[in-house]
Amino acid sequence: MSAATARATNTDFVLAVEGLTVSFEGFKAVDDLSFYVDEKEIRVIIGPNGAGKTTVLDLICGRTKATEGSVKFRNKELTTLNEHEIVRAGVGRKFQTPSIYEDLTVFENLELCYPRGRNVFGALFFKRDQKVINKVRETAEMVNLLDQIEDSADLLSHGKKQWLEIGMLLIQDPALLMLDEPVAGMSVTERQQTAELLRRITADRSVIVIEHDMQFVAEIADHVTVMHQGKILAEGTAEKVKQDPKVIEVYLGH
Amino acid sequence: MSNFSLSNLMTRQDVLGFVVLALILLVVLPLSLDVMRLNQVGKYLSFAFVTVGLVLCWGYGGILSLGQGVFYGLGGYALAMFLKLEASSPENTSIQSTPGIPDFMDWNQITELPWLWEPFHSFGFSLLAILLVPTVLAYLIGFAMFKRRVSGVYFAIITQAISSILTILIIGQQGYTGGVNGITDLQTLMGWSIRTDYASYVFYFVGVALLFVCLFIAQFITKSKLGRILVAMRGQEDRVRFSGYDVANFKIFVFCVGAAFAAVGGAMFTLQEKFMSPSFVGIVPSIEMVIFCAVGGRLSILGAVYGALLVNVFRTVLGESFPELWLFAMGLLFVGVVLAFPDGLAGVYQKYAAPTVDRFLDKAPLFRRWPSSTSHSEPIKAS
Amino acid sequence: MFSDYSATELGSIFAMQGFAGLILFAVFLLMALGLAIIFGQMGVINMAHGEFMILGAYITYLTSNVFADYFPALFGGYFFVAMVLAFLAAAALGALVEWTVIRRLYHRPLDTLLATWGLSLLMQQSYRSIFGAREVGVEVPDWMAGSFQVTDFVELPVNGLFVMCIAVAVTLAVYLLMFRSSWGSRVRAVVQNRPMAGAVGINTAKMDRMTFALGCGIAGIAGSAFTMIGSTGPSAGQDYIVDTFLVVVFGGAASILGTVASAFSISQAQSTMEFFLGGSMAKVLTLLTVVIILMFRPQGLFTLKVRK
């Protein structure tokens, strides 16, 4: 790790990934990957199944430990931190399948993600004051769940669970938001509403999105990174990568 | 501090539950049972401390500990050591070859009080040890396990191994621990005989009072954000990390609380039964306490008290008339509760009785305006 | 602690204790194999595993009595019949238990632990009611009773060697079954992806039942072996369950090689320390060591690193 870490220098980027590698029993799921994300940039990662897209997000947010390389968030090394420390540094992650607290209500789900009282005693003596309530209701409104704020989260439809999870991220107010297939499994209307929601919430932060829907990608992306077999195949604007012959061959062609 | 008002801490059903339990334990049972039976109830209640802790660890936190007997035993032994030293004054033990040390040490040719026993001459130290020794041990185990993300069945098996280790140690080192018989023949507490009827009554009420202290602490924890984090962790441990929480710390905390409760229960057992032995430390008692909790309802702190009481009453009744049936009954209880009533008695109450009780409370003058839920997402009106 | 003994004495002590450890190893291994299949492949905690072993031991005891009473001429061979019967009885009971209890609890692993504990109480009390509380022993056939004199100090009992052979044979059979047969690959398919295995036409419910039955059946064989080295009582199985679980967890569930290595190291450590420290301290130290190692390597000694 030391060689790669030495290579990583301080930058103006929000996120600087350099030489990132992870291998599972010799199989390199992510192989010497480097890319940079600007302030307020929306970066979309595309690629065929098994290209290592989700693994990259796992590596950034600390769910999987890197074998080699460096991930710097605002020049802070993340590869040595635990998941909760990375979250507290300002990185939020949405999972592919909606991952919410089904035994709690919508309100409690959002409240739990409110960034205060995060240690044991802070949580024990956490006070549900007006500020918290207002913030939770405001967030619920933003993700169209105000009507169902008292409902148990397991009663929500699939699409609304996705929104709730986005809301849970918003209330954390992360500087870098990572979304893994945010519109997968949604109806057409829900898709449009989600796209609209994403446009609103991405305005003042950097975002990394994994997505398959090329139309959706073209709509939101500043930059697109195409991954294949753990490596970067192409990078650039949506228009540019769409015309890249290598990309057409491995991904868009079929 | 509107957040900490009683109506945020308890729903009206909770209040009713606490009042009913207090009436049963403080009025009905003392008035209807003779002192010997009441003393037995006191013994059963000492297990309730463990089961309430298990509700927090297992029901809320999803951490199944099969080693709660360790903490119960350590709490009990800490007090028993103090009482034993008091019972082993040089005058009382003048016939021994070494007067002034506990009788079992003398039998095992030990001629000097081991250093580990020395501080237990002090009552203050012993009280501290009751709480601190088990809690610190729980902290160490919890830290080692949860920081390494050992959980689920692995944690259960390792706690079981630990209770096995402690039992073997206690039995093996009989010169220092009293061995398989435990520490017996406890007589007085600060010169005051613990073997009178009066003492039995006092210990019973002290036990009930301490149990209510634990119940209130548990209620506070379950209704706090920490309680909701535990519930969240049980289903989606990974997600809780990504909400910015260090999951291990919450598990360690709740495991320590469970251990401290169990230790108080163990000490109350020693007071009321006048002995402590390894048969309350090992694998079997530890897992039995889990089933008391499951019978009462793993998600209900009040249910856990009833679980401990009822299973033990049942055992006593059955054990007095058909001792050979007890293991069958216990076995069936394990299988049946898990298969048919995973939420225990409290679950049955919630499903069948609670709606009726709620309608009744709507009419009751005392309770009518008490909220039926503690979750207020509406802005709280300044009052 | 070694200074009291001469070098040759020490050598013999280690050899003798090592061999005693090998018998313990055989029982651990047989117990752990069944448990590893059930836990490693199905994620089910079978706390009644020791009682399944004891069932095998009682079956062996009954068979030896039947042979002694009705076929005294064939007594020398009763053990082989007993082993087969022990396997069948334990497997049949296992299938019944899976069908009535376990299959309802696959998504609640901690609850299987409680339910099977209840089951173990039921089984223990049944044994007590049927066979009495006293421990029973079997008569060892003549050909197994002797021992080989290796040196002046070291002698190896035949029954111990025999038990080890059984353990090795069963291990080999399990390995072949799990990793070289189509049945084994179906079992492993169910473990890795239940819905997918169902989708390609594997009857997952039946696989579960057969896997559980196989695990219990091997415990039955362990029971047969157990009668050669100890006496059988209603609650004798309970003494083994925690140790066996540690063997499985220590070895890394789902790895047969791991189970073998872990059963070997734990039994050898315990047996050798037993001579110098006495039984209880040896057990404490062994358990403590395993617990501490597991804290640093919770996934066990022999597991692959895979993407979750």
Alpha helices, DSSP H, located in chain A: 2-7, 53-60, 83-89, 106-113, 120-124, 130-142, 158-172, 188-201, 214-220, 238-243, 245-247
pLDDT at site C118: 92
Q: What angle do CA B68, B69, B71 make, to 5 degrees?
A: 70
Which residue type occupies B352? Y
Q: Is the CB of B242 less than 8 angstroms away from the CB of A123?
A: no
The pLDDT confidence band at residue B186, using thresholds 50, 70 and 90, is: very high
Q: How far, in Å, CA of B139 to CA of B205, rounded?
A: 30
C261 located within any domain = yes
**Does residue C55 lie within any of the structural domains?**
yes
Average pLDDT, chain C: 84
Q: Is the pLDDT of residue C308 over 50?
A: no
Nearest-angstrom CA–CA distance, B207 and B309: 14
Exposed, middle or buried: residue B161 (CB in 10 Å: 0-12, 13-18, 19+)?
buried
Residue C19 located in a structural domain: no
- Tokens of residue A164, six digits: 């709730």
Nearest Cα of chain B lies from the Cα of C115 at a distance, in angstroms, of: 4
Instruction: Choose, out of A95, A107, A112, A170, the residue to mutate when testing the contact with B (most B CBs < 10 Å).
Output: A112
C141 in the same domain as C89: yes
Distance CA C48, CA C46 (A): 5
Residues C90 and C227 both lie in one domain? yes
Is B141 at the interface with chain A, CB within 8 A? no
pLDDT over 70, % of chain C: 94
Handedness of CA B361, B367, B369, B374 (dihedral sign): negative
Contact B91, B187 (CB under 8 A): no
Q: Dihedral sign, CA of B288, B292, B298, B299?
A: negative
Query: For B30-45, what is each residue's pLDDT tens digit?
Result: 999 999 999 999 999 9
Q: Do C249 and B157 touch (CB under 8 A)?
A: yes
Nearest CA in chain A to B229: A112
Partners of residue B226 in chain A, C-beta under 8 Å: 120, 123-124, 126
Hey, what are C217's tokens? 């059946």
Interstrand relation of B188-189 and B192-193 (parallel, antiparallel or unpaired): antiparallel
B254 touches chain A (CB under 8 A): no
Say yes or no to pLDDT of B144 above 70.
yes
Return the top range by mean pLDDT from A116-120, A205-209, B124-128, C8-12: B124-128
Q: Do C259 and C33 meet the contact criterion of CB atoms below 8 Å apart?
A: yes
- Among A176-180, B195-199, C236-240, which is the least confidently predicted range? C236-240
DSSP H or E stretch at residue A178: strand A176-180
Rounded Cα distance, B124 and B12, in Å: 39
- Cβ-based contacts of A99 with chain B (< 8 Å): 236, 238-239
Same domain membership, residue C169 and residue C99: yes
Residue C164 lies in domain:
41-236
Residue C280 pLDDT > 90: no
Quick one: C76 and C150 in the same domain?
Answer: yes
Is the Cβ of B226 closer than 8 Å to some Cβ of chain A?
Answer: yes
User: What confidence tens digit (pLDDT) does each residue in C97-143 have?
Assistant: 999 999 888 888 888 988 999 999 999 999 999 998 888 888 877 77
**Residue of chain C whose alpha carbon sits nearest to that of B336:** C115
Question: What's the CA gap between B72 and B49, in Å, rounded?
Answer: 9
CA pair distance C217, C53, nearest whole angstrom: 8
Nearest in space to B242 (alpha carbons), one of A84, A218, A65, C11 = A84
Residue C308 lies in a domain: no
pLDDT, residue B121, reads: 93
> Mean of the pLDDT values across residues A197-215?
84
Residue C302 at interface with chain A, using a CB cutoff of 8 Å: no
Handedness of CA B338, B343, B345, B347 (dihedral sign): negative
Domain end position, chosen among C190, C216, C236: C236
Contacts of B372 in chain A (CB under 8 A): none
Q: Which residues of C touch B162 (CB under 8 A)?
A: 291
Subunit contact B377:A124, Cβ cutoff 8 A:
no
Question: Computed from CA positions of residues C177, C181, C182, C188, in that sequence, does the dihedral angle turn out positive or negative?
Answer: positive
User: How many folded domains does chain C comprise?
Assistant: 2
DSSP class of residue C141 equals P
Residue C306 has pLDDT above 60, yes or no: no
Which residue from A minimizes the CA distance to C306?
A: A24
> CA A113, CA B242: separation in Å to the nearest integer?
9
Does residue C161 lie in a domain region? Answer: yes
Q: Are C174 and C244 in a shared domain?
A: no
Which one-letter amino acid corresponds to residue C239?
D
pLDDT at residue B54 tops 70: yes
| Nearest Cα to Cα of residue B58 among B298, B339, B236, B277 | B298
Task: Compute the average pLDDT of residues B120-127.
Answer: 95
Sign of CA dihedral A164, A168, A174, A180: negative
C-chain residues near A25 (CB < 8 A): 304-306
- For residues C115 and C262, state if they share a domain: no
Q: Which helix (H) or strand (E) holds A43?
A: strand A42-46
Sorting pLDDT into bands at 50, 70 and 90, what band is B169? very high
* 8 A C-beta contact, residue C261 and residue C33: no
C-alpha to C-alpha distance for C230 and C236, rounded to whole angstroms: 9
Torsions phi, psi for C267 (to 5 deg)? -70, -40
Tell me: do C130 and C93 sit in the same domain.
yes
> What's the distance, CA C76 to chain centroid?
24
The answer to whether residue C34 sits within a structural domain is no
Q: Would you call A24 an interface residue with chain C, using a CB distance cutoff of 8 Å?
A: yes
Listed residues C191, C221, C236: the one ending a domain: C236
ipTM: 0.87
Q: What angle do CA B4, B9, B14 make, to 5 degrees?
A: 160
Distance CA B74, CA B85 (A): 16
Tell me the torsion sign for CA atoms B169, B172, B173, B177. positive
- Set out the domains of chain A in order of their start, with CATH numbers: 1-90+174-195+206-254 (3.40.50.300), 100-173 (no CATH)
Amino acid at B235: G
Number of residues in chain C: 308
Maximum alpha-carbon separation in chain A: 58
- Please spell the DSSP secondary structure of B180-196, one letter per residue: GG-B----EETTEESSS
Range from A4-8, B362-366, C156-160 carrying the lowest mean pLDDT = A4-8
Cα C90 to Cα B14: distance, rounded to the nearest angstrom: 48
Q: Is residue B61 scored above 70 in pLDDT? A: yes
Pairing of strands A76-77, A231-236: unpaired
User: CA of C13 to nearest chain B CA: how many angstroms apart?
Assistant: 23
- Residue A35 — φ and ψ, nearest 5°? -160, 165
Nearest-CA distance B338 → chain C (Å): 6
Cα angle vertex B261, ends B260, B263, to 5°? 65
pLDDT digits (tens, 9 = 90+) for C35-82: 888 887 777 888 999 999 999 999 999 999 999 888 888 887 888 899
**A64 CB within 8 Å of a chain C CB:** yes
State mean pLDDT over A200-229. 84
- The answer on C97 and C162 residing in a single domain is yes
C neighbours by CB contacts (3+ pairs under 8 Å): A, B
Class of residue C133 by CB neighbours under 10 A (exposed 0-12, middle 13-18, buried 19+):
exposed
C35 is a domain residue = no
Contacts of B229 in chain A (CB under 8 A): 112, 123
| Tens digits of residue pLDDT in B318-330 | 888 887 788 888 8
Q: How far apart are CA B285 and CA B239, in angstroms?
A: 35
pLDDT at B381: 40
**B156, B160, B334: residue with CB nearest C110:** B156
| Of C211 and B76, more confident | B76
Q: Is residue C17 part of a domain?
A: no
Q: Which of residues 37-56 of A touch C (CB under 8 A)?
A: 55
pLDDT band at B379 (very low <50, low <70, confident <90, very high): very low
B275 touches B194 (CB < 8 A): no
pLDDT tens, A19-54?
999 988 778 888 889 999 988 888 999 888 888 888
Q: Give the residue from C236, C259, C282 where a domain finishes.
A: C236
What per-residue string of b and e applies to C185-201 under the rule 16 or more CB within 10 Å gives b? Answer: ebbebbbeeeeebeeee
For the residues B362-373, what does the mean pLDDT come to?
A: 75
C204: part of which helix (H) or strand (E)? Answer: helix C204-229
* Residue A187 in tokens: 């109806």
Q: With beta carbons under 8 A apart, name residues in chain B contacting A105.
A: 375, 377
Amino acid at C169: A
Residues C298-306, mean pLDDT to the nearest whole number? 60
User: On the CB side of B356, how many CA atoms lie within 13 Å of its CA?
Assistant: 5
- For residue A95, give how far its alpha carbon lies from the nearest alpha carbon of chain B (Å): 9
Same domain, yes or no: C232 and C245? no
Burial (Cβ within 10 Å: 0-12, 13-18, ≥19) of residue C175? middle
Q: Is the pLDDT of residue B48 over 50?
A: yes
Same domain membership, residue C266 and residue C209: no
So what's the pLDDT on residue C11?
Answer: 76
Same domain, C124 and C227: yes
C149 and C82 within one domain: yes
Cβ proximity of B110 and B124 under 8 Å: no
